[in-house]
Chains A and B, each alone.
Chain A
Amino acid sequence: MSGGAMARLDDDKRSEPSHPGALAIKSLNKRYRMDGRILQVLQDIDLNILPGEFVSIVGRSGCGKSTLLRLIVGLEADYDGDILLDDQPIRSTSLDRGIVFQDHSLLPWMTVEQNIGFALLTLDLPESEKKRRVAEHIDLVNLSGFAKAYPRELSGGMAQRAAIARALVNEPKILLLDEPLGALDALTRIHLQRELQRIRTQNRSTMIMVTHDVEEAVYLGDRVVVMDANPGRIGRVVTVPLPHPRDRGSRAFQHIRDEILADLTGAHDTD
């Protein structure tokens, strides 16, 4: 009963004209101090992300992708520039913003079920509704049967799937994904790429995904941000104008993919 009412309430919120989830990043700079030396990790990042948009980020290792996500999710308040979510500056974490870390980061003393439920602890929902959501998300990532398993007993891919379920279960306005599917086998990967696409259409939440798989970036992204390294900055933003579901074999798809790949591997390097 109350669950249904809850869902209706949510729908009402979602259909408001100023649908939340718009992210504006303005001249963002991030430096780390390491034994006296200053390391410029991110330089002059400017990026506007529309509500409900899916943005993929690619770039070589160490170019600051994870750092950028940590800043957006609010884990680090020490930066220069602005990060605004629906015009509000981000200064700390919020249940509106979820993240899947590069390492699964499950709490080892909790079962899969408890780990996913952890994301709902502070949410004001009836216990039964929390239970239902946890079970639903365990199914979503194909972990039924492992609800009572501890992270130690899971493979890397299974743990990552549990982490994805945890990030999705409280339906954040904006979801940040740091190489979420990197540890998965090809089949599960394709399955979860479809699931992400479905969830995204269904929840209309904004998503930013870091990936090393250019095909995945193009398959899911409305735009693909290509980052350069040392210091980390935005090199190029490629719009993917193809309708969903996308056909990986189509010429248009492959053309975009190859162009980004060439960019990354430096085949186009002119400077």
Chain B
Amino acid sequence: MVDQVTGGSVFSAQAKTRRSLESFFSWLAASGPKTAVAANAPRTLKRTGLTILLSPVLLLAGWFALSHSGLFPTEVVVPPEEVAATFWDMVRSGDLQRNLSSSLGRLAIGYGIGAGIGLLLGSFMGLSRNAEAYLHPTFQLIRQLPTIALIPGFIMVLGIGETVKIVLVAKATALPVALAAFEGVKGIPRVYLDVADIYKIRPLTRFFRVILPATVPPVLSGMRIALSRSWMVLVGTELLIADSGIGQMMEWGRQVFRIDLVLVGVVITGVIGFTLDKSFRLLERRLVRWRYR
């Protein structure tokens, strides 16, 4: 009885998700550059929103088949429809929203702080040779350390409260952003600076009309990569230390052997990461329109 009800709602929910996903992708495709895609698309494979859905659907089908094959107990390889049902239950109880908002809140604060610090430090290193000489080697060194490896040390210093998560996210953000800003400033094609010299452009104008626009594209890509990376770092941190959040939800699921909960977390993490990346790409297109028109 209960199963039937859940089953029904799951399937209609799936259909709804599929429809909204499709429209999301067609919207994405429409807002992208109109030229290259159509011209380069292979004739045999018409690229539509459905084409992009092909591999996830295949993955889902494989998962479905495997879970029902009887090779593994369904508690271990939980069938996708059960995961979907759990997802739906969590949405209705509000658990998912609570966890999601606490994760996204941490991400927003940590990313904001990290990006700010990264931009300042990176441009400073790029503009001043002294700053470069003093800071760059250290930066390259710290970059080689996985953020996850810093967690034990950070916990000792900062405890296991909110601060440590935000600091870790900020660290995961600041480094790639700083290096992107540094390299963006360093890598400005010389000819642009020559042109500014020739027309005797004043320092402030030079900064806003030449240096800034020339560095914005690489810096934005750096910020996009940092966003995905810090999301992963956050979820990883929450797995280890948290009382709320997507990572904590997964860890709790593991402890009580609710693999379906863990899998909901996995899917949500992936979808959020994907959405953040795509949205950032769109933002890049908007801000750097001269590059894509």
Contact = CB atoms under 8 A, between A and B. Distances in A.
Interface residues of B, number: 19
Contacts of A119: 199
Contact of A150 (B200, B202, B205, B293): B293
A147 B205 CA distance: 22
10 interchain residue pairs of minimum CB distance = A109-B213, A122-B200, A109-B290, A150-B290, A105-B191, A93-B197, A119-B199, A93-B198, A95-B200, A75-B194
A108 B197 contact: no
B24 interface: no
Nearest to A101: B191
A129 interface: no
Contact of B199 (A75, A95, A151): A95
A110 B208 CA distance: 12
B210 A107 contact: yes
Given A103-B191, A118-B209, A75 B197 contact: yes
Contacts of B46: none
A105 B201 contact: no
B191 A121 contact: no
Nearest to A151: B290
Interface string B282-293: 000000101101
B199 A170 contact: yes
B195 interface: yes
Interface string A128-143: 0000000000000000
Given A103-B191, A105-B194, A118 B290 contact: no
Given A92-B197, A121-B205, 17 more contacts: A73-B198, A75-B197, A75-B198, A93-B197, A97-B198, A105-B191, A105-B195, A107-B195, A107-B213, A109-B290, A118-B195, A118-B201, A119-B199, A121-B209, A150-B293, A151-B290, A152-B290
Contacts of A105: 191-192, 194-195
A48 interface: no
B293 to A, nearest CB: 6
Contacts of B191: 101, 103, 105
Contacts of A97: 198
Contacts of B201: 118, 121-122
A83 B197 CA distance: 18
B190 to A, nearest CB: 9
A108 B217 CA distance: 12
A107 B201 CA distance: 13
Interface in A63-119: 73-75, 92-95, 97-99, 101, 103, 105, 107-110, 118-119
Contacts of A95: 199-200
Contacts of A108: 290-291
9 contacts: A75-B194, A75-B198, A93-B198, A99-B198, A103-B191, A107-B209, A107-B213, A109-B213, A150-B293
Interface centre among B195, B205, B213, B214 (most CB of A within 10 A): B195
B198 A98 contact: yes
Assign chain A's interface to a size class: 20 to 34
Contacts of A151: 290
B218 to A, nearest CB: 13
A153 B200 CA distance: 27
Contacts of A107: 192, 195, 209-210, 213
B197 A122 contact: no
A112 to B, nearest CB: 12
A73 B194 CA distance: 10
B200 A94 contact: yes
Contacts of A92: 197
A123 B55 CA distance: 59
A2 to B, nearest CB: 22
Contacts of A75: 194, 197-198
A93 B200 contact: yes
B245 to A, nearest CB: 40
Contacts of B202: 121-122
Interface centre among B200, B205, B214 (most CB of A within 10 A): B200
Contacts of B199: 95, 118-119, 121-122, 170
Contacts of A170: 199
A180 to B, nearest CB: 15
Interface centre among B194, B195, B198, B199 (most CB of A within 10 A): B198
Contacts of B200: 93-95, 122
A100 B202 CA distance: 21
A22 B252 CA distance: 83
A99 B288 CA distance: 28
Interface string B228-253: 00000000000000000000000000
B210 to A, nearest CB: 7
Contacts of B210: 107
Contacts of A98: 198
Interface string A176-209: 0000000000000000000000000000000000
Interface in B178-210: 191-192, 194-195, 197-202, 205, 209-210
Contacts of A150: 290, 293
A126 B80 CA distance: 69
A113 B209 CA distance: 14
